[in-house]
Amino acid sequence: MKKISRRDFLKLSGFASTLTLLWGCAPGAASTAVDLSVTLPPAEHDLFLFNALKRIGLGPTPADMESIQASGFEAYVDSQLAYEQIDDSAATGRLSKFETLNMPVKELAALASPTQPVFELIQAAMIRAVYSPRQLYERMVQFWTDHFNIYILKNQVRFLKTGDDRDVIRPNALGNFHSLLSASMRSPAMMVYLDNASSTKDRPNENYARELLELHTLGVDGGYTQEDILDVARALTGWSVTGRRAMDNAGEFTFRRYAHDDGAKRILGVEFPAGQGMEDGEQLARMLAEHSATARFIAYKLVRHFLTDTPPAGLVDKVSQTFQSSRGDIREVLRSIFFSEEFKTSLGAGKLKKPVEFVASAARQLGIETEFDRPMFRLIQAMGQVPFFWPAPNGYPDVGAAWLNTNDLLARWNFALSIATGSVRGADVDLSWLAGLPEPEVVDELSIRLLGFILPSELRANVLGALASISGVPPETSACALLLASPYFQYR
């Protein structure tokens, strides 16, 4: 594939439609709101790359822009996929104070404070999203965390999720889907969350079996029956966790042969002979990971995540084929998404940021220094997306309609006002680089930093008018609050 420059991109999508996409209007309904008299961003500020970064990562910093401009789009994607080679000390350095992240499960279970692992894991998730240069990797960690969602406040999960995050999701987020699935099937947190830990041959528990098919692999329309669910549950009887009753030894994966139903099973038309023991589950994992319905379901969810709430069927097909031909190689699957024409033409259009994405992008693009302790936690909580707090196994919704409501908008505006004015303890915004500049320059510099372009002229004039009338805070503070609260900043 050839490299795409900004000029090519403009040619590709047409000047007017590029602007339309820029303003974040819904496709089809947008042309009315476009102001063509807008000043273009400075030439060196490549809007295509800026918009690509908004999708690949969690908010383009000036350093990200330098990096992608130096290497070009494709090389940047490849370098992000090779995440192990990116120095991560910017994030890991901030995590060293969280002692529970690397604790073995025995120690986690024995902690005096039952909520310490919960809050450290939440803080770590936010810190990594904001400060790690491995941006695509962290985005994929978030994606799989929701795909294999585990509610952290359920019983022993509060200390088991640490291991799921560390040993299941993070090592496999850009690896192979079968490995990820197999690891998740052995995850003590998952076994407890969806009750497989107590599933026995006499009374198999269907909870995990059902969600394994419906949410983790085939999808609800993946062609399985209630009988398939029962036999999946039987196949996984005995896949459990050590010491569930004796808390002193809680939390390692174990296979309890005496609890396993060793009879023959028939799942999705395939025979599972009697006497296979743990191989039942291994065979099941291979079968599900290779199933075409799984490929399609994962492809659909990934395209929805990276492009649009209404994924184009053609691209889903293509990505699904890549998933199958690469045998679930997540990097190959992502390449087929990022290097598609559909990805390029979708840029700039309305994919609403989820609250965590909104907060992370504000923090990254403004260079906010925070450890995400209580005051920041409260703000995220008000928006309804504390990491690991979604109680149902389907994970936080990944479409805008689920978030776009009065509570969400108000909470975003309040975040913008609170953070820009420095009213949030433990979250410092440094706007001194704008102090003393004339107001038009303040607005333009901040627009480029946060939105990637200069505001349409009429709006720019309105913002400047507002700055003059807002007393009590410096213009850069007001401008920052307004731009963070603006509709443009709600999209990625």
Partner 1 sequence: MSFSFSRRDFLKTAAALPAWMLAPEAPRDFLPRFAFFSPKGQEPRANILVCIFLRGGMDGLHAVIPHGDADYYRLRPRLAIPEPSPGNDRTGIDLDGFFGLHPSMRPLKDLWDDKGLAFVHAAGSPNPTRSHFDAMDYMERGTPGDKQVATGWLARHLQFAAHENGSPFRVVGFGAALPSSLRGPIPAIALRSIADFHLGGRYRGEVEQFQNMISSMYASDAALGERADFTLDAVQLLQSVVVSKYQPANKAQYPDSEFGQSLMQVAQLIKAQIGVEVAAVDLGGWDTHITQGQFSGDMPNLLADLSAALAAFYLDLGDMMKRVTVTAMSEFGRRAIENGGLGTDHGHGNVMMVLGKSINGGRVFGQWPGLSNEKLVGPGDLAITTDFRSVLGELVSKHLQNPFLDQVFPNFTDYQPLGIADNIST
User: Could you say which residues in the range 381-410 bind partner 1, by CB under 8 A?
Assistant: 382-385, 391-394, 397, 400-410
User: Could you say which residues in the range 189-248 bind partner 1, by CB under 8 A?
Assistant: 194-195, 198-200, 202-207, 210, 214, 220, 226, 230
User: Smaller CB distance to partner 1: residue 65 or 194?
Assistant: 194
User: Smaller CB distance to partner 1: residue 211 or 342?
Assistant: 211
CA dist 313 and 64 (Å) reads 31
Asked if 333 and 299 count as a contact pair (C-beta separation under 8 A), the reply is: yes
Q: Which position among 18, 22, 24, 353 is part of the footprint of partner 1 (CB under 8 A)? A: 24
User: Could you say which residues in the range 335-354 bind partner 1, by CB under 8 A?
Assistant: 350, 352
User: Could you say which residues in the range 28-47 bind partner 1, by CB under 8 A?
Assistant: 29-30, 32-33
Asked if 82 and 335 count as a contact pair (C-beta separation under 8 A), the reply is: no
User: Could you say which residues in the range 364-383 bind partner 1, by CB under 8 A?
Assistant: 375, 379, 382-383
Closest distance between partner 1 and the C-beta of residue 357, in Å? 15
Straight-line distance from the first to the last Cα atom of the chain, in angstroms, rounded to the nearest whole number: 25
Q: What is residue 160's three-state secondary structure?
A: helix
Q: Please state, in angstroms and as integers, the Cα–Cα distance from residue 46 to each residue in 16, 427, 441, following that order.
A: 17, 30, 19
459 binds partner 1 (CB under 8 A): yes
Closest distance between partner 1 and the C-beta of residue 68, in Å? 27
CA angle 399, 403, 407 (to 5 degrees): 175
Closest distance between partner 1 and the C-beta of residue 119, in Å? 19
User: Could you say which residues in the range 129-188 bind partner 1, by CB under 8 A?
Assistant: none
Asked if 464 and 481 count as a contact pair (C-beta separation under 8 A), the reply is: no
User: Smaller CB distance to partner 1: residue 133 or 350?
Assistant: 350
Closest distance between partner 1 and the C-beta of residue 226, in Å? 6
51 binds partner 1 (CB under 8 A): no
User: Could you say which residues in the range 274-303 bind partner 1, by CB under 8 A?
Assistant: none
CA dist 11 and 8 (Å) reads 5
CA dist 360 and 331 (Å) reads 24
16 binds partner 1 (CB under 8 A): no
For the chain, count helices (H), then strands (E). Answer: 26, 6
CA dist 356 and 163 (Å) reads 22
